[in-house]
Structure 1
Amino acid sequence: MDNLGKTNKQVLDRYLKLEADSGKIQLEYLWIDGTGEGIRSKCRTIDFVPKDVSELPIWNYDGSSTYQAEGSNSDMYLQPVAIFNDPFRLGNNKLVMCEVNKYNKLPADTNYRHTCREVMDRAKHEHPWFGIEQEYTMLSQDGHPFGWPKQGFPGPQGPYYCGVGANKVYGRDIVEAHYRACLYAGVKIAGCNAEVMPAQWEFQVGPCEGIDMGDHLWVARYILHRVSEDFGVVITLDPKPMPGDWNGAGAHTNYSTKSMREEGGLAHIEKAITKLSTKHDIHIKYYDPKEGEDNKRRLTGRHETSSIQDFSAGVANRGASIRIPRQVAEEGQGYLEDRRPASNCDPYRVTEIIVRTTVLDE
C-alpha cells in the first residue's frame, strides 16, 4: 500500500524509525507557562546520552509568547531539573522537566518548584510521601465531552465509575496508551480508572517522595496531552467542566510522613489534621491556580466534595476535606487523603503547603 493509503501516524512512524546520526539524541524541554496550568515544550539536539540531568545545558525561550514576559525583554531561562525517557521518539531521546527563571536568573512567577524544593529539603527527615489522583475530562475538538450525544446528555451518573462497555466508557484507548507511555518514560504511575462522569477518567501517580511528586505529575500530564493529540481528543483539567448534576474533577492528594507510616502513626495523622484545620483558607488559595476561584465551582458540598467554606475530616468520608481511609483507621498507621486540591492545581504548590503546615509548622 502506498503512502496515500496510510494514515498520518503510519507515515510518521516510518520516519521515527530512522536511526539518528551517531551520538545524536533529541531532548524535549518541558516547562510550566505563565497561566500556572499550561505546559509547553521545545526540542533540541545534543551529541551525547546524558547519565544525569546535571549534564544538560540551560536553554531559553520567548516568554512574551507564554504569558511570562514583555516583548522588549522576553528571554526566559530553562533550568533542567528532571529527566525521563521519551515515549514518542523512543531510543535514547529524553523528556526534560525544567524550572523557569527570568532574565535576571530569579524564579519566574509560576516557578513554584523553586520554593517547594527548599521546603522538601528542610523536611527530608520526615521523608514526606505523596500520591496524587489526577482526574481529567476528554473533550471532542468542538469542546463537547467526548462520546456524549451531540444533542442532549447521557444517562444520569451511576453506571460509569469503573464501568465496562461501549455505552458506559468513552476513550479507553487513550487511557491505555497514556499508561504505557508513562511506564516507558519512568513516571511513577500507579493506576487508572473511569470516573463518575462519562468521559472523565483518573490516573494516580506515586508514591513519590518530596519534590519528585510535582516532577512526575507534570510529566504525566504532558504525556497525556501528547497521546491525546494522536487520537484527535482534547484533555481538560477544568475542576467543573460540565455545570449541573455532574461530578467535578479533583487531584486528591494522599500524604504521609515517616511518623505516620510507623506504629502509632494514627496519632500523628490526627495531629496533622488538627494543624490543617487551622490553615484551611490558606490551603484553599494554594489548591487551584486562581486561588480558590476554580474550586468554588467544584467544592460545593455535593458530588463527593466538602464545602469550600468549611473544614471537615472523617474516616472513609468522601464528603470531607480530609479522609482517613478505613484501613488506616483499623491498622493505626498509614496516610491521609486531602480531597480539596482541584484537578488543575500545581502539585508543587499543593505538596509545599501541606509540608509547611504539618511538618514545619509554618
Structure 2
Amino acid sequence: MAQILAPSTQWQLRTKHTSMSSNPITSKMWSSILLKQNKKGAVKSSAKFRVLSVKSEGGTINRMEDLLNLDVTPYSDKIIAEYIWIGGSGIDLRSKSRTISKPVEHPSELPKWNYDGSSTGQAPGEDSEVILYPQAIFKDPFRGGNNILVICDAYTPAGVPIPTNKRHRAAEIFSNKKVVDEIPWYGIEQEYTLLQTNVKWPLGWPVGAYPGPQGPYYCGVGADKSFGRDISDAHYKACLYAGINISGTNGEVMPGQWEYQVGPSVGIEAGDHIWCSRYILERITEQAGVVLSLDPKPIEGDWNGAGCHTNYSTKSMREEGGFEVIKKAILNLSLRHKEHISAYGEGNERRLTGKHETASINTFSWGVANRGCSIRVGRDTEKQGKGYLEDRRPASNMDPYVVTSLLAETTILWEPTLEAEALAAQKLSLKV
C-alpha cells in the first residue's frame, strides 16, 4: 500500500450492523469464469456449480439457480447465519449454517454453537465438542437479504480457548489500555495464487510447463498476462458488499498470482476482516472451479513468492516527531526478529531468501523505500517525519490475529534492556 489513510468510520460503528441489501452475488456473475474453464485446452472442472449455467431446451430458468437466488425476506423474518471458524491446521477455514429467528445487528445477539472438533483436528474423539463464540458479523454476499457471515473463535465447553484460537490472545493485547490509547492502524496486503484444479498448477500456465519470465505480469493487462481477473473483481465487489474494509487489488509479479489490500483497520478488526475476506475468496474460487493457494512459495525457482505485507502505525507514529517513534519500533522489532519470524507463517523460509523483493529470513534489516528489507519505510514518511512502517516478513498464510497483535505487543508493550537497545541501535544505525 502506498500509504495508510485514516480508517473508515466502520470500526467505530461496527456495533451498529447495517441493513442488508437483497442483491446477492448470483451464478450469472461467474459466467465468464465458467466459460473460460470450458475453453479448449483448459482443465475441466467437476464443480457442481456448473449445472447452474445449463438451460432447458425451452429456455426456462434453471430450477436450481432459481432457488439459489430466491429471496425469502418477504415471507419470513428468519435469516441464515454462516458460522465461520479456523480449523486445526491454523489456516484452513470451516463453516456451517444455522437459522436465526430474526435479523441481528451485533454478534452478542447470536447464540453460541458447537462442532465436532475431532473431525477438524482440534479435539479428541472421546471429548470432541468445541464451542463457537460469535465475534464479528458481515453481510452475506452469496445469500443476500438479511443473511450474515459470522466470524467465530473456539473454546472448550469449560470456556478455555483451544490452542488454535489465536483471536483470544490478540483481543487481550488489543484491550490493553496502552494499546487502546495508541489506536493501532493496520493495512494488510494479502497475496494469493490461483491454481488449476486436479493438476494444481498456476492458472494461465501451460500444464507441466512454464510461461515467459516475470516482467509483464505485474498489474498487467491482456489475455497473455492476466489470469483470473474475474475472480479478483468478483472478490473485490463481494468484500465491499459484505462490509469488509477492502481498499484495492492488483495482479502480482508471478502470473496467476493476485493481491488485495484490507485496511486501514483498527486493532482486532484487522484480523476479523482478513479472515472473512479469505473465506469469501475460498467460496468464490470454489464456485469458479479454481483452487486457492496461500503457500508462500507455490513455485520454486525464479518466481516471486506470496507474502502478506503488514503496514502498521500508532497514534504516536502519526503525530509530529513520529519518525523517531518509528525508529524506536524498528529497534524493538530487530531485537525480537526470531519471535516474529516463528509466528509469521509456515514455509516462510522458502520465500524469505534475500531474492525476489525479500530480505533473508536470518537477517533483520530496514530501509527507506527498500523492498529488499525486513522493514520498509516510505519516502513520504521520511519526508513528513511521521507516518507508518511496512513489515515485509509475514507470509501469505500468516494468521492476521497473531501478526497484528505481535506488532502491537513488541512496539507498544515490550521494553528491551538499555544495553540491548544501545547495541541494536548501533548495529542498525538508528539514533533514538
Whether the 8 Å CA contact 2:54–2:62 is kept in 1: the answer is: no
Instruction: Read off the aligned partner of 2:181 and give its amino acid letter.
Output: H
Farther off after superposition, 213-222 or 138-147: 138-147
In structure 1, the residue corresponding to 2:413 is in which secondary structure? coil
1:279 aligned residue: 336
- Within a 5 Å distance, the mapping from 1:1-362 to structure 2 comes to 3-4=55-56, 11-20=63-72, 21-122=75-176, 123-142=179-198, 143-288=200-345, 290=346, 294-361=347-414
- In structure 2, what is the Cα distance between the partners aligned to 1:151 and 1:22? 52
| 1:5 shift after superposition | 5.8
- Please give the per-residue CA displacement for 1:225-263, whole angstroms capped at 9, x wherever unaligned: 101112110100000000111000000000000011112
Name the aligned partner's letter for residue 95 of structure 1.
L
CA distance in 2, matches of 1:339, 1:130: 13
Displacement, 1:224? 0.4
**Aligned partners of 2:383, 2:54: CA distance in 1, in Å?**
63
Root-mean-square deviation (CA, aligned residues, Å) is: 1.6
Q: Unaligned regions of 5+ residues in structure 2, if any? A: 1-52, 416-432
Cα distance change on mapping 1:5 and 1:86 into 2, 3 Å: farther
Instruction: For residues 159-196 of structure 1, give each alpha carbon's deviation from its aligned partner in whole angstroms, at most 9, with x where no partner exists.
Output: 00010000000000000000000000000001000000
CA contact (8 A) 1:3 1:11 kept: no
Aligned positions, number: 357
AA of the residue aligned to 2:353: T
Letter in 2 for 1:354: L
Offset of residue 104 of structure 1: 2.5
Return the offset for 1:3. Answer: 4.2
Contact 1:36 1:346 in 2 (8 A): yes
The AA in structure 2 aligned to 1:61 is Y
Q: Deviations over 1:16-44 (max 9, x none)?
A: 33232411110000000110000110000
Q: Contact 1:80–1:98 (CA<8 Å) still a contact in 2? A: yes
Q: Alignment partner of 2:188: what SS?
A: strand
CA-CA distance at 1:46 after TM superposition: 0.9
Cα deviations by residue, 1:279-311 (Å, 9 ceiling, x for unpaired): 1001101111x4xxx111000000000000000
Q: Go from structure 1 to structure 2 and tell me whether the alpha carbon gap of 1:10 and 1:201 turns closer, same or farther (over 3 Å shift).
A: farther
Deviation for aligned residue 1:4: 3.8
CA distance in 2, matches of 1:18, 1:245: 48
Q: 1:179-225 deviations in whole A, cap 9, x for unaligned?
A: 00000000000100000000000000000000000000000000001
Question: What SS does the corresponding residue of 1:359 show, helix, strand or coil?
Answer: helix
Deviation at residue 264 of structure 1 after TM alignment: 1.6
When normalised by structure 1's length, the TM-score is: 0.96
Q: Which 5+ residue runs of structure 1 have no aligned equivalent?
A: none
- 1:67-118 CA-to-partner distances (Å, cap 9, x unmatched) read 1011111110000000000000000000000011123221011101001001
Aligned-partner Cα distance in 1 for 2:401–2:54: 48
* Cα distance per residue 1:300-353 (max 9 Å; x no partner): 000000000000000000000000011111111110000000000000000111
Q: 1:144 to 1:306 in 2, by over 3 A?
A: same
Distance 1:107 1:12 in 2: 40
Kept after mapping to 2: 8 A contact 1:182/1:189:
yes
In structure 2, distance between residues paired with 1:106 and 1:120: 19
Which secondary structure state, in structure 2, belongs to the residue aligned with residue 41 of structure 1?
strand
In structure 2, distance between residues paired with 1:287 and 1:19 = 42
Higher-Rg structure is: 2
